[in-house]
Amino acid sequence: MKQQTQEVTPLSGMESLTELYKVGSGPSSSHTIGPERACLLAARIYPQADAYRVILYGSLAKTGRGHGTDTIIKKTLAPLPCDITFDCETKSLPHPNTMDLYAMKDGRALGQLRIMSVGGGRIQVLGEAEHKPVILYEHKTFNDIRAYCEEHGLRLWQFAERFEGPDFWEYMREMWDAMKHSIKQGLADDGILPGGLNVQKKANFLYHRRSLGESSETRENRLVCSYAFAVSEQNAAGEKIVTAPTCGAAGVLPAVLYYEQHKNGFEDEEVVRALASGGIIGNVIKTNASISGAECGCQAEIGTACAMAAAALGELFQLNLDKIEYAAEIAIEHHLGLTCDPVCGLVQIPCIERNAVAAMRAINAVTLSDFLCETRKVSFDKVVQAMKETGRDMSTLYKETSEGGLATVGVHHHHR
Ligand code: SF4
């Protein structure tokens, strides 16, 4: 029987920046941040539980081990014991990322939650009303935003301030603190990343490897890269990061902001504002194209992170709106067509190094924009549109399936 469907015009506009920046355990918003939040919710609902049983289905069962879904679940529910089953057989699921959580007491189930990890770290409990993020901004494109800012004499962070809630700045400060924390943790860490690729953590090495007579350019590259590696390695190791805009691309924005803060002595307050301005750019891309590697390839993740970082830097340096737009446009334009084909499905090769390269590119994009802004020919909105179309036409082999490109060339084992 054909169902009568009512035409509903979807609310148009952008969600809060608090939906873009989120703290959680890497390396995947749907495979680790979502399940982590599911466990936190279960722990809140069943404080009297003494153990848990968790069953992972669909994609959570298939790629959960590689992403460390089980490790995150155990860590979040600790010290309570947790028995985890990977069920790859069950087909009729409400969502590809479904999990069942049984809260136990004295060997008997107290209650059960069926939870779906619906993307971007958001979770949905089966049977409960769908929790849709609210549209805070009626503006959708950068052109809309620019027109509004020009009319009211606002910078991008002031624009965000107008539409976000009263707790916004506190939330953003938490994000910046979490970013700094993951840089510091990452720099202090070394060893091998989990997953079997035998990838060595390199942030610490990069940070300390000052060579004699190092030029200031080399030093800048080395430090920026060490910060990007630090966050990306924390992400790959299942530690806490801030999505910016995703887990895989979480290293770009903190790397450039941390570097510039230390070099130029910017106050935290200024950096947090820059983070909001960069967030607006990320939100425009999320709303009009995509920030998901599975949907549009790496151009949507790293390309977006680079554009956000460029805009954030432009804000730090007090560039005008035209120059900020141009810096973001340069940053994403030169990521167009970038594929997502991580080796073995792990967010390590090429992802970690790619964060570092994008961080350097963001700095270059700002310099270029400052010099060449008057002659620019392409708007930011147009490039976002081009990114969406390129992503749509990109073969699925290059969209997080690890079935093509770099994922299939084999890893070179280098013996020292
Ligand atoms: S290659 Fe894929 S998984 Fe890695 S950072 Fe890019 S989009 Fe994310």
Query: Above 60 in pLDDT, residue 11?
Result: no
Q: Whose CA is nearest to atom 1 of ligand 1?
A: 340
Q: Give the pLDDT band (50/70/90) at residue 112.
A: very high
Task: State the average pLDDT over residues 32-47.
Answer: 97
Distance 245 CA to ligand 1 centre (A): 12
pLDDT in tens, 245-272: 999 999 999 999 999 999 999 999 999 9
Task: State the average pLDDT over residues 107-124.
Answer: 94
Among candidates 120, 122, 135, 133, which has minimal Cα distance to 293?
120
CATH class, range 28-125: alpha beta
φ, ψ of residue 379 to 5 degrees: the values are -85, 160
Distance 233 CA to ligand 1 centre (A): 13
Per the CB < 8 A criterion, the answer to whether 219 and 145 are in contact is no
Distance 121 CA to ligand 1 centre (A): 16
pLDDT in tens, 316-352: 999 999 999 999 999 999 999 999 999 998 999 999 9
381 backbone φψ class: left, alpha, beta (φ>0; ψ -120 to 50): alpha
DSSP state of 192: B
Percent of the chain whose predicted confidence (pLDDT) is above 70: 96
Indicate if ligand 1 lies below 6 Å from the C-beta of 26: no
Tokens standing for 189?
A: 């860490």
Percent of the chain whose predicted confidence (pLDDT) is above 90: 87
Residue to substitute in 32, 400, 408, 409 for testing ligand 1 pocket (most ligand atoms within 8 angstroms of CB): 400
Task: Point out the ligand 1 atom lying closest to the alpha carbon of residue 355.
Answer: 5
Distance 342 CA to ligand 1 centre (A): 6
Query: Above 60 in pLDDT, residue 1?
Result: no
Distance 299 CA to ligand 1 centre (A): 9
Order of strands across the sheet that contains 98-105: 82-87, 51-57, 98-105, 108-119, 122-125
Task: State the average pLDDT over residues 8-17.
Answer: 75
Distance 332 CA to ligand 1 centre (A): 15
- Which residue(s) pair with 122 in the sheet? 119
Indicate if ligand 1 lies below 6 Å from the C-beta of 347: yes
Q: Give the pLDDT band (50/70/90) at residue 32.
A: very high
Residue to substitute in 232, 348, 354 for testing ligand 1 pocket (most ligand atoms within 8 angstroms of CB): 354
Q: Give the pLDDT band (50/70/90) at residue 119.
A: confident
- For 330-342, the DSSP string reads HHHHTTTT--B--
pLDDT in tens, 173-192: 999 999 999 999 999 999 99
Q: Whose CA is nearest to atom 7 of ligand 1?
A: 298
pLDDT in tens, 196-209: 999 999 999 999 99
Task: State the average pLDDT over residues 379-405.
Answer: 94
Distance 298 CA to ligand 1 centre (A): 5
Task: Point out the ligand 1 atom lying closest to the alpha carbon of residue 249.
Answer: 5
Query: Above 80 in pLDDT, residue 215?
Result: yes
Q: What is the mean pLDDT of the chain?
A: 94
Task: State the average pLDDT over residues 78-92.
Answer: 96
Indicate if ligand 1 lies below 6 Å from the C-beta of 351: yes
Give residue 8's pLDDT.
43
Task: Point out the ligand 1 atom lying closest to the alpha carbon of residue 293.
Answer: 7
Distance 215 CA to ligand 1 centre (A): 31
In sequence order, which residues have a C-beta less than 8 Å from that of residue 315 and are 6 or more positions away? 155, 156, 157, 273, 274, 277, 278, 324
> How is the chain split into domains, by residue range?
28-125, 138-407
Rounded Cα distance between 411 and 86, Å, is 28
Task: State the average pLDDT over residues 377-406.
Answer: 93
Q: Whose CA is nearest to atom 8 of ligand 1?
A: 248
Cis ω before 27 (30° cut-off from 0): yes
Distance 348 CA to ligand 1 centre (A): 8
Cis ω before 94 (30° cut-off from 0): no
Indicate if ligand 1 lies below 6 Å from the C-beta of 301: yes
Give residue 66's pLDDT.
87
User: Strand runs (DSSP E) across 243-341, as ranges?
Assistant: none
Q: Give the pLDDT band (50/70/90) at residue 400.
A: confident
pLDDT in tens, 285-317: 999 999 999 899 999 999 999 999 999 999 999
- Classify burial at 91, counting beta carbons within 10 Å of its beta carbon; exposed 0-12, middle 13-18, buried 19 or more: exposed
pLDDT in tens, 54-64: 999 998 998 88
Distance 282 CA to ligand 1 centre (A): 16
Choice between 260 and 408, residue whose per-residue pLDDT is larger: 260
- For 313-335, the DSSP string reads HHHHTT--HHHHHHHHHHHHHTT
Residue to substitute in 301, 346, 349, 398 for testing ligand 1 pocket (most ligand atoms within 8 angstroms of CB): 301
Distance 302 CA to ligand 1 centre (A): 7
